[in-house]
Amino acid sequence: MTTLQFSELVAGRPVAVDVDGKPACVARVGDEVFAISNICTHSYAELSDGEIKDYKIECWLHGADFDLRTGEALTLPATEAVETFHVERVGDEVFISQKTKEN
């Protein structure tokens, strides 16, 4: 599990974090926070260097869009979804963990 401060997350400015050894991209959209794998499924690029548009993040390398809520690949050249992480906010703390069957 990784803990971040909500007040330090800037909407539209994704950050790269490590969640139990897995690279994750954390993005704030309004008052919501999402976490997906930081590695694009098309080739090797870090999504935290991409651009957020509404609930989408665009890979900076070849322009594939991913849905921050589901990880779904929305546009080519990516066809495979990225993994999503469980996000829980308690006050100013944001807990990010790997998904389990329970969450």
| Contacts with ligand FES, residue ranges (CB under 6 A) | 40, 42-43, 45, 59, 61-64, 77-78
DSSP three-state, residue 7: helix
Q: Output the smallest distance, CB 35 to ligand FES, in A.
A: 18
Cβ contact 97:41 at 8 Å: no
Q: Pick between residue 60 and residue 95 the one whose CB is nearest to ligand FES.
A: 60
Cβ contact 20:11 at 8 Å: no
DSSP three-state, residue 18: strand
Q: Pick between residue 23 and residue 63 the one whose CB is nearest to ligand FES.
A: 63
Q: Pick between residue 35 and residue 59 the one whose CB is nearest to ligand FES.
A: 59
